[in-house]
Amino acid sequence: MEREAFILQQIKKQGLLPLFYHEQEATCIAITNALYAAGVRCIEFTNRGKHAQQHFAQLVKYRDASLPDLLLGIGTVQSEAEATSFISIGADFLVSPFFDHSICDVAYMNKVLWIPGCMTPTEIHSARIAGCKMIKLFPGSVLQPVFAEALQPLFPDVDFLVTGGVDSTEYNIKSWFKAGVAAVGIGSKLVTPYIVENNAFEELQKTTAKLLALIERIREQ
């Protein structure tokens, strides 16, 4: 439980959970290096391609050798088998697009933080009863900040991470944090197709550093 609590605290402290997947291993490492150089210490690698397990295993090896304080989570975990496999590879935490008791059980037995995706108060209630401390509001583009704000009085003991359509603009980020979320997950709006196609990883580093600074400034207001 201490390890789970530590990782949860790190995600909350960072306020931003970058998430990405790419078919090329070298590109995955380059993206990871750029995010790390910007100050990121928690990353979600999404399980959305045929090479996901292979690339994640290489990222874990690279992290262990070069970036020992980086926490690597795996996203889009959709089954007990996937959860078990990625935990064996070395995932620090798991993220799913939905709540599933079998995945919850695997995470609990292995003492690994699991963040399930929920869209309704009933789903959030089920996840909370199952012991989930952080819940992903997904998709954020549908739910909107007003929904997150309405949840706060109902679930004061739950930390919310919102993903799916979160924009990197100041207005959007500010709206979510003012609504009470603990962190935002951003994928293609941060690791954009332009950055990947043009190997613009220095630009990714600068953009990410500015985003982290923006989140810190918003929280201080």
List the pLDDT tens digit at each of the 221 positions of the chain. Answer: 699 999 999 999 999 999 999 999 999 999 999 999 999 999 999 999 999 999 999 999 999 999 999 999 999 999 999 999 999 999 999 999 999 999 999 999 999 999 999 999 999 999 999 999 999 999 999 999 999 999 999 999 999 999 998 998 999 999 999 999 999 999 999 999 999 999 999 999 999 999 999 999 999 98
Instruction: Please report the pLDDT score of residue 1 as a whole number.
Output: 61
Q: What is the per-residue pLDDT for 165?
A: 82
Q: Which of 158, 165, 122 is nearest to 143 (CA)?
A: 165
β-bridge partners, 35:
none
113: β partners: 93
pTM, two decimals, is 0.96
CATH class of the region 2-212: alpha beta
- Per-residue model confidence (pLDDT) at position 109: 97
- What distance in Å separates the CA atoms of residue 94 and residue 85, rounded to the nearest whole number? 11
Question: What are the sequence ranges of the domains in the chain?
Answer: 2-212
In the prediction, which pLDDT does 221 show?
A: 85
